[in-house]
């Protein structure tokens, strides 16, 4: 349900100050030894999921959009950041490992589907036994396969799952077009395939095609970035640039990138053409990625959210909208903090369950 709140600006300040304080407390010095290490990817995943969750709260859950502004204006950037990191991660892994198409599907699709199926089953059961809601057979079999063709936050089972279908399409296509010697060619093919889908305008995807139009560039761009990183010299020279008199230029570049990131988000093009919105979002993604590559601090709070980012994405909206247990009877800033804590707990619990299930499966295979 939509939550009515009072004093949205005051609540935003309180939340921002508390969250900012915890973020600073979690900061640790970072030495730049690699351009894009796994730890950096985890941090950026945390940033991405926070962008999405705070946007869903500020613009869709509460009645006054002043709450959490401007932290709530980056949902599209968060989705594109996830797609960028997915393309980057698959390519970086593909450059290091030799997996057949079958091996890729077995490993990657299992990791993609298992947490998703857990969330799907639990929410279907909760909707039935708690809310008395049931769903059609068509929805059930499409849902099991990961096919979601609607994205209405207020009427759909779990609206953010439109993203699952899009990333699934990329996962199915990636091993078929990945060339270890020419990753840049794979990026071009993936970009052309996405644009072909949009131009084809299949009626099956009518209700989500507008979302695909503003998120079709990020995944191929991540593939291209993973290839580009392999062509860079050692990251040690960047560490040297951040010291001595050269640090002046280093930090000027860092501040300039942050300024471009802010500009791209404020002038996002939302409500205008899909092309402008996509380009501004991609600019925001690239600048925040560069900022994180250059920064001399590691934020463990971002890493914590990044560790459970996929599970949080799967669970967050139904828990807030259909099963709201915090908003409505406590200050919105406190409810937001409690939900963020709850999401980390849910992510931890979901991963533990996945670990137990995998352990049981391996034991059965050995028998």
Q: Is the pLDDT of residue 238 over 60?
A: yes
pLDDT in the model for residue 274:
86
Q: Is residue 285 part of a domain?
A: yes
Hunting for tokens 């305008």 — which residue is that? 201
pLDDT in the model for residue 243:
77
Q: Residue 167's domain spans which residues?
A: 8-25+32-366
Tens of pLDDT, residue by residue over 266-289, are: 988 887 888 899 999 999 999 999
Q: Is residue 331 part of a domain?
A: yes
Average pLDDT of the segment spanning 10-26: 96
Q: Is residue 361 part of a domain?
A: yes
Confidence of residue 5 (pLDDT cuts 50, 70, 90): confident
Average pLDDT of the segment spanning 195-203: 90
Q: Is residue 2 part of a domain?
A: no
Q: Is residue 160 part of a domain?
A: yes
What's the chain's average pLDDT?
Answer: 91
- 270: Cα separation from own chain's centroid: 19
Confidence of residue 191 (pLDDT cuts 50, 70, 90): very high
% of residues, the chain, pLDDT over 90: 71
Residue 37, phi-psi category: left (phi > 0), alpha (psi -120 to 50), beta (remainder): beta
pLDDT in the model for residue 365:
53
Q: Is residue 1 part of a domain?
A: no
Distance CA 277, CA 59 (A): 17
pLDDT in the model for residue 235:
75
- Buried/exposed code over 83-92 (b: 16+ C-beta within 10 A; e: otherwise): bbbbbbbbbb
Q: Is residue 3 part of a domain?
A: no
Q: Is residue 353 part of a domain?
A: yes
- How many domains in the chain? 1
């Amino acid at each position: 349900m939509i939550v009515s709140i009072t004093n949205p600006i005051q609540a935003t300040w309180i939340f921002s100050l508390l969250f900012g304080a915890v973020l600073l407390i979690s900061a640790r010095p970072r030495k730049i030894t690699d351009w894009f290490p796994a730890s950096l990817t985890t941090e950026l995943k945390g940033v991405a999921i926070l962008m999405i969750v705070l946007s869903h709260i500020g613009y869709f859950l509460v009645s006054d959009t002043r709450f959490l502004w401007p932290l709530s204006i980056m949902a599209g950037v968060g989705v594109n950041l996830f797609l960028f990191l997915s393309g980057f991660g698959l390519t970086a892994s593909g450059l290091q490992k030799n997996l057949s198409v079958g091996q890729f599907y077995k490993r990657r699709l299992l990791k993609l589907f298992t947490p998703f199926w857990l969330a799907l089953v639990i929410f279907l059961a909760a909707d039935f036994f708690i809310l008395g809601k049931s769903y059609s057979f068509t929805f059930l079999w499409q849902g099991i396969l990961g096919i979601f063709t609607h994205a209405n936050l207020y009427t759909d089972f779990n609206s953010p799952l439109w993203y699952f279908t899009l990333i699934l399409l990329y996962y199915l296509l990636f091993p078929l077009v990945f060339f270890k010697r020419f990753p840049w060619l794979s990026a071009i093919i993936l970009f052309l395939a996405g644009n072909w889908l949009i131009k084809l305008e299949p009626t099956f995807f009518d209700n989500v095609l507008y979302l695909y139009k503003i998120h079709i560039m990020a995944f191929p761009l991540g593939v291209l970035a993973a290839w580009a990183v392999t062509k860079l010299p050692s990251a040690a020279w960047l560490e040297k640039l951040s010291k001595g008199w050269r640090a002046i230029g280093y930090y000027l570049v860092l501040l300039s990138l942050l300024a471009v990131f802010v500009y791209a988000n404020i002038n996002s093009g939302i409500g205008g053409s899909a092309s402008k919105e996509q380009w501004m979002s991609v600019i925001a993604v690239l600048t925040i990625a560069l900022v994180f590559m250059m920064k001399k601090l590691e934020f463990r709070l971002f890493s914590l959210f990044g560790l459970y980012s996929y599970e949080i994405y799967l669970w967050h909206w139904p828990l807030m909208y259909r099963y709201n247990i915090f908003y409505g009877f406590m200050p919105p800033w406190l409810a937001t903090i409690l939900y963020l804590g709850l999401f980390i707990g849910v992510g931890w619990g979901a991963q533990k369950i996945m670990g137990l299930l995998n352990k049981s499966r391996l034991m059965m295979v050995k028998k």
